[in-house]
Amino acid sequence: MLRTTQWSLTSPNSARSRCSLKPVWCLRFGTVPQAERLEAFQPTGDPYTDELLSLGIEAGLHRIGCTDASPLIEARTAIEQRIDGGLQDEMQFTFRNPNRSTTPNDALDGARSIIVAGLSYATPDVEPPFAVSGRVAKYSWVEYYEPLRRALTVVRDRLRSDGHRALVFADDNSIVDRAVAHRAGIGWYGKNANILVPGAGSFFVLGSVVTTAKLATSSIVDDGCGVCRRCLDGCPTQAIIEPGVVDARRCLAWLLQKPGVFDRRFRVALGDRMYGCDDCQEVCPPTTRRQLRVTPPEGARPWVDVEALLEMTDEELLDSVDWWYVAQRNPDWVRRNALIVLGNVGELGSPRVREIVATYLEHPDPMLRAHAVWAAARLGLHELIPIHDTAPLVIEELRDLPEVRTTRAN
């Protein structure tokens, strides 16, 4: 007999933070349904489908569902609208070819069904351990997509052994993972554009098994955001311009990956972030108050030593962040970000910080010199700034130096 696996979840400080009016939080957070536990999946009533879903849970997945493989028309329309409005900036991924990423049959000829799953990365916070610590978004503490792929492969192999064709897709631009996750009942679209899993929130990596098997479909989850708008108000750069719509040109997670000069308007707002940004999830009540908490895997790196990183060779640096997306695998984009973080949170008056900044002010790459100029100004090291540097990028920085930092930037 098949059994739906469940995890009981508890809110931190629940007696103090819960409203007495169940099953919603008090109105200061908006009327938000309060799911008491995470259900691994909704039984579909079809024995074979439910057996496959149960197999995925046994393989280590936390939430799983199923949808058909028809085109993702709503997702395609949304992508095209964002492209027309320039909201995707230079981001490629599923924006590169909207027709392909929203047509599952392009991923697997003859596709009829998609099993979609989520793996939680809702790990507890860790205190910064270094003199200058750079924050890493939770989804990149380790390579979470590898265990996700392994678990999905168990389901794929079962389908193949039963005579069906099946392929695994995770962190892949062949399919819009949030769109199929929503349709497969994994969760609802939050106003922060993430998929919010009932009873657990949004700290999940998503992946799929596209197959030629005809399977039963899961029910779509009702929207649970209510009138809450904490993510819109909590974004440090106001990148969420309307519910569910993110302007990549303002999103710190994208700006950290984007090649070129980091937009000056958002450097102070970057604070100590080295890779990714969790702010719109960390303020979300369904995520912070009802999450499936997992233990950080071995090798998890929630922080990086910014000073040490800026002293590494190219090979050492890339090895230290090997699961991050780094454009063209060019370590200088990581160094660029690190210089901004150093300017924001580096210890004022530190000899080591001063030495690092001085080194980068003489770097052969004008892009790095330009960001070192900004960091030097933030740290009050104006005497180090090369005012006669003739590189256009450096001249631009010299024309618009930031104010000296007196406290640590958040």
Query: Where in the sequence numbering do the catalytic residues fall?
Result: 171
Other Cβ atoms within 10 Å of 300 Cβ, number:
16
192 residue type, one letter: N
Q: Which of 47, 48, 68, 65 is nearest to 56 (CA)?
A: 65
| Distances 402 to 147, 206, 262 between C-alpha atoms, Å | 43, 40, 14
- What span, in angstroms and rounded, lies between the C-alpha atoms of 297 and 294? 9
First to last CA, the chain: 52
CA distances from 367 to 104, 139, 262, 334, 397 (A): 41, 28, 10, 12, 10
Instruction: Specify the amino acid at residue 70.
Output: S
Q: Between the CA of residue 75 and those of 104, 192, 380, what are the distances in Å?
A: 12, 16, 47
d(CA 76, CA 29): 32
Among residues 381, 308, 382, 397, which one has the least CA distance to residue 348? Answer: 381
Q: Which residues contact 234 (CB under 8 A, 6 or more apart)?
A: 279, 280, 282, 283
